[in-house]
Structure 1
Amino acid sequence: MLLDTNDDIRIEVISGLAERKDERVLETIIKELKKGVIFDEIIIAAGNAGSKELLPILNELLNEFRDERIIDKINESIKKIKENVCE
């Protein structure tokens, strides 16, 4: 299901596993964040996963986007991960 060609199904599975902080989803999130087209839900899932492993990629994305809405989502995910790491 993580490799499903249907975007809706794949994103739903990724989001669900990220909310449960299932580490099996981290590699998939990393791959999704490195694609040419990144869905908002993947950025949110990165924050929900809460892994500091995702911070460098999210920080890189901040430099790639000009859309304030997307930048806000990336910053929210970064903040969420940092809060999770400090717990």
Structure 2
Amino acid sequence: MTGECGQIFEGVKETDDLKNPKAIAIISWAQGYISAKNVGLVLSGKPYRDMASLSYLEMWASLHGYCQRNPKKSGLDAVIYAEELMQIKPPS
């Protein structure tokens, strides 16, 4: 997801979500990135993102929408945007 949004989402529609293998790969990558980042935050005793606070479809809509509005930004920027929409959980 380090390429430009316009390239990453080429040929993928907002309505594709679970119907398109490329869409599934994009969402899976985003969730994996945020999950891995959360592990580091939890191990450091810092607040982390509640991944359950953003549904699968909300995640897809935020990624796709961000990239439609910002085709020259990186896919990682779209993931960070989606991450910022998630609620923050305090350290346990």
Give the structure-2-normalised TM-score. Answer: 0.27
Give the structure-1-normalised TM-score. Answer: 0.28
Higher relative helix content = 1
Q: Higher relative contact order by CA 8 Å / sep ≥ 6: 1 or 2?
A: 2
